[in-house]
Amino acid sequence: MSDAALEASTLHAFRDAVAACVRAVPAGRVVSYGDVATWIGRPGAARQVGAALRSFAAEDPAFPWQRVVNAQGGISTFKVGMGELQIALLRSEGVEVADGTIDMQRYRFHPQDEDRTGDANG
């Protein structure tokens, strides 16, 4: 396999893992870019998660990109002009956003909670 083919294969695997992880986050809950990176076995790849999310949002309007926020619960998309949309989408799912920030203690999704209770809202 050529270096370019290996790189493309690795990129597709990463994107697929990010997509599967984000799709598993239920409406009304959020995760951080770092959470996603850690859950897919790539701790430290939070920025790459963000890049993948930007492409998913452009490709598929139904993709739940809005459920990923920064580690402090902040909306990080204002610089790309999507912050207001992200806030509106999260609020439509029942997430409270105050001053561009979400209470991560209240709204952060933990996959083990769903596994244990069968209900994402615990």
- The enclosing domain of 47 has a CATH number of 1.10.10.10
Q: Are 31 and 68 in contact (CB under 8 A)?
A: yes
pLDDT tens-digit readout, 13-31:
999 999 999 999 999 999 9
Q: Residue 37 sits in which domain range?
A: 3-117
User: Is 122 inside a domain boundary?
Assistant: no
Q: What is the pLDDT of residue 72?
A: 96
Backbone angles phi, psi at 73, to 5 degrees: 85, 10
Mean pLDDT of the region 84-104: 95
> Rounded to an integer, what distance in angstroms lies between the CA atom of residue 28 and that of residue 78?
20
Domain count, the chain: 1
pLDDT of residue 122 exceeding 60 = no
- Identify whether 95 is part of a domain: yes
